[in-house]
Amino acid sequence: MSKVAIITGGGSGLGQATAVRLAEEGVNISVVDISEEGGNRTVDMVKDKGADAIFIKADVSKNEDVKNYVDKTVSHFGTIDYFFNNAGISGSGKYFLDSDIDEIEKIVGINLLGALYGVRHVAEVMKKQGSGAIVNTASSAGVIGQDSVVTYSATKHGIIGLTKSMVAEYAKDGLRVNAIAPGPTETEMVRNFYKDNPEMKENAESGIPQKRLGTPEEVAELVTFLLTSKAEYINGEVIRIDGGFTNVK
């Protein structure tokens, strides 16, 4: 029987690349995104690989939307084996004291509350079935401090706390929960951020020992490994994929 994965933020970037990579392994995908255009494009890409896929529109900062995507996935596929808890936004790049409250609330709502809601509802299904693997998307900004992304960094540090504490509570029930901490990666979100803050791209590239940004496909390979049975004894880890960026800070 084919495995089933939910991917939030599946309409672009890391989510889309991971959906395609998992489809190559025969995994069926629930693609969750706020963008219908992006989400449906990913569905087509997954089906082109021979796997099944559905699109579910959701604002992950709303608990009812999160519960809906979990319920619809179980209704359509019968189970949830893997969860890539990935949806997120970066913010404007303003220094914290120049950020308005609306932006702070939006980043926290999507990046942190959205992740908490997702794990809350998905893990309930996984606990009942006695198995499941979750990968949460943290960031290099979740393992070190970085300027211009204070709220974003706070949410990504929170993702790491979520990851480790879930293992403490639910590893005994068959759940595996890990996190990835990507450095600057060539996604649409990052490109838009650097378009508005060009000096930060130059600073990032010069600070990466490999002297380039990562690719979504490289991150997708790591996520696929962590979600599949090849990684059954990896639990509660935060794996950096940043070209050495955080190792030289």
* pLDDT: which is higher, 211 or 37: 37
Residues 241 and 14: their CA atoms lie apart, in Å, by 12
Mean pLDDT of 132-154: 96
Q: Is 95 a catalytic residue?
A: no
Share of the chain above pLDDT 70, in %: 99
Domains and CATH numbers, the chain: 4-247 (3.40.50.720)
Residues 99 and 63: their CA atoms lie apart, in Å, by 25
35-81 tens-digit pLDDT? 999 999 999 999 999 999 999 999 999 999 999 999 999 999 999 99
90-129 tens-digit pLDDT? 999 899 999 999 999 999 999 999 999 999 999 999 999 9
- H helices, E strands: number in the chain: 9, 7
Q: Is 104 exposed, middle or buried (0-12, 13-18, 19+ CB in 10 A)?
A: middle
What's residue 177's pLDDT?
98
* Statement: residue 198 has pLDDT above 90: no
Of 82, 117, 152, 170, the active-site residue reads 152
Question: Which ranges of the chain does DSSP label H, i.e. alpha helix?
Answer: 13-24, 36-48, 63-77, 101-107, 114-129, 150-170, 188-196, 198-207, 216-227
